[in-house]
């Protein structure tokens, strides 16, 4: 089973529905104790960086996730779930993220003709091979909704880049963590493909082969 972490940030139903479409057992987890029944976890999220990290810690998820990743178990971060892996964000000065990946989260700079938030379809250019990319062509379009982007100190963790006025990191791979700034559950066939590949990393069968 995939566990979808509920820490009070964002709509989790669309992630669960995408997993169910693929035939992957998925459950929204309100308590870290339920993680013991899972083979992989998804950390989604929509909202402010400071609120997100505060809720993770208040609900006991921060330590559970750290132990999960130390054991080498698969974790998928989505949108805010990617940003929280970093040390800090311009969105919430003084708030400390999980800090697993060195670097900070920055707001998109003002640019003529570009609206913030970055909302809609955009290309992701793969910068390193990864099993989660299998069957997803380089340059595929994914659906984004965000005003801030991650800026890793170590470029080797970047697995995908996207251009929106500036070229930014849209995908990271760090140990057993694969995290994306876009929303795979809203990205049609190619997004479902990524979710299926992630589930396979956790040793789960995927029935929705039509996404190939």
Per-residue pLDDT tens over the stretch 160-176 = 999 999 999 999 999 99
Catalytic residue, candidates 19, 38, 79, 169: 79
Note if 88 is an active site residue: no
Neighbour count for residue 161 (Cβ, 10 Å): 16
pLDDT at residue 38 tops 80: yes
Average pLDDT over residues 40-57: 97
Question: What is the chain's mean pLDDT, rounded?
Answer: 95
Quote the pTM value: 0.96
pLDDT score of 211: 41
DSSP state, 114?
A: B
pLDDT score of 208: 61
pLDDT at residue 209 tops 60: no
Q: How far apart are the C-alpha atoms of 180 and 39, rounded to whole Å?
A: 19
The residue ranking higher by pLDDT, 11 or 210, is 11
Domain that holds residue 80: 2-211
CB 124 within 8 A of CB 163: no
pLDDT score of 57: 97
pLDDT score of 212: 42
Q: How far apart are the C-alpha atoms of 73 and 66, rounded to whole Å?
A: 10
pLDDT score of 210: 44
Note if 125 is an active site residue: no
Note if 151 is an active site residue: no
CATH code assigned at 207: 3.40.50.880
Number of domains in the chain: 1
């Amino acid at each position: 089973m995939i566990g979808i972490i509920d820490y009070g940030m964002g709509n989790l139903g669309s992630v669960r529905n995408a997993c169910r479409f693929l035939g992957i057992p998925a459950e929204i987890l309100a308590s870290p104790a339920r993680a013991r029944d899972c083979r992989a976890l998804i950390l989604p999220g929509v909202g402010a960086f400071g609120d997100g990290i505060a809720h993770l810690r208040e609900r006991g998820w921060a330590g559970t996730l750290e132990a999960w990743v130390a054991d080498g178990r698969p974790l998928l971060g989505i949108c805010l779930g990617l940003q929280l892996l970093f040390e800090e964000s311009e969105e919430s000065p003084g708030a400390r993220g999980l800090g697993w990946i060195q670097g900070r989260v920055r707001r998109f700079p003002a640019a003529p003709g570009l609206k913030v938030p970055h909302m809609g379809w955009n290309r992701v250019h793969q910068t390193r091979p990864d099993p989660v990319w299998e069957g997803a062509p380089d340059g595929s379009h994914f659906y984004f909704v965000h005003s801030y982007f991650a800026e890793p100190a170590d470029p080797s963790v970047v697995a995908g880049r996207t251009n929106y006025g500036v070229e930014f990191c849209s995908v990271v791979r760090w140990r057993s963590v694969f995290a994306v700034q876009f929303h795979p559950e809203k990205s049609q066939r190619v997004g479902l493909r990524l979710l299926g590949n992630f589930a396979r990393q956790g040793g789960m069968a995927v029935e929705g082969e039509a996404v190939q």
